[in-house]
Amino acid sequence: MSPLANKAQAYFALGMYDKCEESFQKALQLQRGFPDASYGLSLLWLIQGRREESIALSRKIHDAVPDFVPILNIMAMAYLYAGSYAEAEKLYQQLAAKGSYVPGSFPLGVVSADYDAALGMIALKTGKKAEAKQLFDRSFEMNRKAIESGNELYQYRYNIAAVLAIQNNHEEALRWFEKAIDAGWRLYSIAQIDPFFDNLRTDERFQQMIQKVKVTVDNQRKLVEQTEKQ
Structural domains in the chain plus CATH codes: 1-110 (1.25.40.10), 124-230 (1.25.40)
The candidate with the shortest Cα–Cα distance to 46, out of 195, 159, 173, is 195
pTM of the model: 0.88
Mean pLDDT over 193-205 rounds to 94
Q: What residues contact residue 60 under an 8 Å CB cut-off, 6+ apart? A: 38
Kindly state the average pLDDT of the residues 79-100.
90
In this predicted structure, the answer to whether residue 91 has a pLDDT above a threshold of 80 is yes
pLDDT for residue 191 is more than 90: no
pLDDT for the residue 98 = 80
Answer yes or no: is pLDDT of 100 > 70: no
pLDDT for 27: 87
Q: Which of 189, 144, 198 is nearest to 167 (CA)?
A: 198
Select, from the ranges 24-33, 88-97, 205-214, the one with the highest average predicted confidence (pLDDT): 205-214
